[in-house]
Amino acid sequence: MNPWRKGTSWGLSGLLLIAVVSGCGVVSTDNQTANPAGTTAEKKDDGKLVIGMSMDTLKEERWQKDRDLFTAKVKELGGDVKVLAANGDDSTQLSQAEQLISQGVDVLVIIPHNAEATAPIVEKAHKEGIKVISYDRLIKNSDVDYYVSFDNVRVGEMQAKAITEKVSKGNFVYIGGADTDNNAHMFKQGAMNILKALQDKGDIKIVYDQFSKDWKPEEALKNMENALTANNNNIQAVVAANDGTAGGAIQALTAQGMAGKIPVSGQDADLAAVQRIAEGKQTMTVYKPIKAIASKAAEMAVALAKNGRVDGVSGKVNNGKIDVPSILLDPIAVEKANLADTVIKDGYHKLEDVYKNVPKDQWPKP
């Protein structure tokens, strides 16, 4: 147990809460669904460190990898992980985080659905002496202890740069992510850093620019349909914030016979997206090695649990309230030409999966 922690006990309200939450999106990496009373006792008895992981969602492919790689690394470092995922619902995430706090986790790692709405979780955790790490997405206006992510402005810059290298004139569409996710704003800021210069020169016009609620591909599809309709299909390029939204946009383009004819960006190196890149339907994705962020976060969480601090974190990101000690990892821009040298070489996806829909004579040579 962490010497920095105040003791936590099981209150009636905690037990009631679990009864309500169980069965709705609760995930445990130990394959023990919501019956934490027993597991807590076990963990406390064997003295193992327990890290709580409160996730927005497990819907996108990447988050499943985050969960699995984070859990594996914490286990390697001698701890255990309890994971709860909120299916994109703020109040569920709040009550799940409370559940983890009352189970007596040593450190809480949060991937917020809503950058602002998760701030009270930090306060509640701190009251119990539990430190909080903001994972991938920043918790805003809170005293969150650490932040580990990628350079998200750079992600947006990479997206817009790759697109403007293909097309540098005409009508551009920006299909953003979730307005509630601080990252979506960072990605957009990065993209606009690149697009603005061309816009100021009068070379491009951003004719449509909308967020897509909860990062949903179906919202991105609607956005792209609206953009096409409003402009009589006179669109030359699409900067989409991630692979899910790119998928929605490409579906709308397909319906108009435009898929593969105009460039579309993405992010995450999802299997469906790298397949589209191999097939020429999507221009690029941004690969963020999940193993790197998951391992870094696991090391930080275990260090925090053991020592109450993490040494050697020199970066800072302001969250509206404080400068949060931060580690930002490097993203990698991926196009067809470097698919083999990046996601495939890293073992993130297998060559035969990525090129599944492409004739074999067009596969990259080993």
Residues of this chain that interact with ligand BGC (CB under 6 A) are 60, 62, 136-137, 177, 181, 183, 215, 242, 267-268
CA-CA distance, 315 to 148, in Å (whole number)?
10
Measured from the CB of residue 88, what is the shortest distance to ligand BGC in angstroms?
9
CB 104 within 8 A of CB 44: yes
Task: DSSP for 231-251, please give it.
Answer: TTT---EEEESSHHHHHHHHH
Tokens 């922690």 identify what position? 5
**Helix H segments across the chain?**
12-21, 36-46, 61-76, 90-102, 119-127, 152-166, 182-200, 217-230, 243-255, 271-279, 290-307, 351-354
The residue among 215 and 355 lying less far from ligand BGC, judged by its C-beta, is 215
Measured from the CB of residue 348, what is the shortest distance to ligand BGC in angstroms?
13
Measured from the CB of residue 340, what is the shortest distance to ligand BGC in angstroms?
22
Rounded to 5°, angle at Cα 118 from 183 and 291: 50
Task: DSSP for 156-192, please give it.
Answer: HHHHHHHHHHH--SEEEEEE---TT-HHHHHHHHHHH
CA-CA distance, 291 to 69, in Å (whole number)?
6
Measured from the CB of residue 215, what is the shortest distance to ligand BGC in angstroms?
4
The residue among 1 and 117 lying less far from ligand BGC, judged by its C-beta, is 117
CA-CA distance, 34 to 55, in Å (whole number)?
15
Per-residue tokens: 138: 């920043």
The residue among 106 and 181 lying less far from ligand BGC, judged by its C-beta, is 181
- Give the closest residue to 160 by CA, choosing from 249, 284, 279: 284
The residue among 50 and 290 lying less far from ligand BGC, judged by its C-beta, is 290
Read off the DSSP letter of residue 6. Answer: P
The residue among 150 and 355 lying less far from ligand BGC, judged by its C-beta, is 150
Measured from the CB of residue 153, what is the shortest distance to ligand BGC in angstroms?
12
Measured from the CB of residue 37, what is the shortest distance to ligand BGC in angstroms?
32
CA-CA distance, 177 to 249, in Å (whole number)?
12
Measured from the CB of residue 15, what is the shortest distance to ligand BGC in angstroms?
32
Measured from the CB of residue 20, what is the shortest distance to ligand BGC in angstroms?
26
The residue among 137 and 276 lying less far from ligand BGC, judged by its C-beta, is 137
The residue among 42 and 60 lying less far from ligand BGC, judged by its C-beta, is 60
The residue among 115 and 198 lying less far from ligand BGC, judged by its C-beta, is 115
